[in-house]
Amino acid sequence: RAQKERQLEQAIESHRLIGHAVGVLIERHRITPQQSFEMLRQASLNRNVKLRELAARVVESGLDPDKA
Protein backbone atom coordinates (compact mmCIF):
# COMPACT_ATOMS: atom_id res chain seq x y z
CA ARG A 1 0.00 0.00 0.00
CA ALA A 2 2.79 2.42 0.87
CA GLN A 3 4.50 1.78 -2.46
CA LYS A 4 1.26 2.43 -4.35
CA GLU A 5 0.82 5.70 -2.50
CA ARG A 6 4.37 6.78 -3.40
CA GLN A 7 3.77 5.89 -7.05
CA LEU A 8 0.53 7.86 -7.05
CA GLU A 9 2.25 10.87 -5.50
CA GLN A 10 5.02 10.68 -8.09
CA ALA A 11 2.45 10.47 -10.91
CA ILE A 12 0.58 13.48 -9.57
CA GLU A 13 3.81 15.47 -9.27
CA SER A 14 4.80 14.54 -12.84
CA HIS A 15 1.37 15.62 -14.07
CA ARG A 16 1.68 18.98 -12.30
CA LEU A 17 5.17 19.55 -13.65
CA ILE A 18 4.14 18.78 -17.23
CA GLY A 19 1.10 21.02 -16.84
CA HIS A 20 3.30 23.84 -15.63
CA ALA A 21 5.65 23.43 -18.61
CA VAL A 22 2.65 23.42 -20.97
CA GLY A 23 1.50 26.67 -19.36
CA VAL A 24 4.93 28.24 -19.87
CA LEU A 25 4.85 27.30 -23.56
CA ILE A 26 1.28 28.55 -24.00
CA GLU A 27 2.25 31.95 -22.60
CA ARG A 28 5.48 32.22 -24.54
CA HIS A 29 4.21 31.11 -27.94
CA ARG A 30 0.49 31.86 -27.69
CA ILE A 31 -0.42 28.35 -28.79
CA THR A 32 -3.04 25.86 -27.65
CA PRO A 33 -2.48 23.38 -24.82
CA GLN A 34 -2.46 20.56 -27.36
CA GLN A 35 0.24 22.26 -29.43
CA SER A 36 2.41 22.96 -26.42
CA PHE A 37 2.09 19.39 -25.14
CA GLU A 38 3.01 18.17 -28.62
CA MET A 39 6.12 20.39 -28.55
CA LEU A 40 7.15 18.74 -25.29
CA ARG A 41 6.33 15.26 -26.53
CA GLN A 42 8.23 15.65 -29.80
CA ALA A 43 11.30 17.08 -28.06
CA SER A 44 11.15 14.21 -25.57
CA LEU A 45 11.04 11.65 -28.36
CA ASN A 46 13.69 13.34 -30.50
CA ARG A 47 16.15 13.72 -27.64
CA ASN A 48 15.31 10.48 -25.82
CA VAL A 49 14.59 12.33 -22.56
CA LYS A 50 11.70 11.49 -20.25
CA LEU A 51 8.79 13.88 -20.63
CA ARG A 52 8.74 14.88 -16.95
CA GLU A 53 12.49 15.51 -17.00
CA LEU A 54 12.17 17.72 -20.06
CA ALA A 55 9.23 19.54 -18.47
CA ALA A 56 11.35 20.25 -15.39
CA ARG A 57 14.10 21.67 -17.60
CA VAL A 58 11.61 23.92 -19.41
CA VAL A 59 10.20 25.22 -16.12
CA GLU A 60 13.61 25.74 -14.50
CA SER A 61 15.48 27.20 -17.46
CA GLY A 62 12.73 28.97 -19.37
CA LEU A 63 14.10 27.51 -22.60
CA ASP A 64 12.03 25.86 -25.32
CA PRO A 65 11.86 22.05 -25.14
CA ASP A 66 14.26 21.54 -28.04
CA LYS A 67 16.93 23.60 -26.25
CA ALA A 68 16.25 22.76 -22.58
DSSP 54: H
Write down the pTM of the prediction. 0.85
35-63 pLDDT, tens digit each: 999 999 999 999 999 999 999 999 999 89
The torsion defined by the Cα of 49, 51, 53 and 59, in degrees rounded to 10, comes to 130
Residue type (1 letter), 58: V
Q: What is the pLDDT of residue 51?
A: 95
Amino acid at 57: R
Contacts 24+ apart (CB under 8 A), 59-64: 59/17, 59/20, 59/21, 59/24, 62/24, 64/25, 64/28, 64/39
pLDDT at 13 over 90: yes
pLDDT at 57: 95
Residue 68 is predicted with a pLDDT of 87
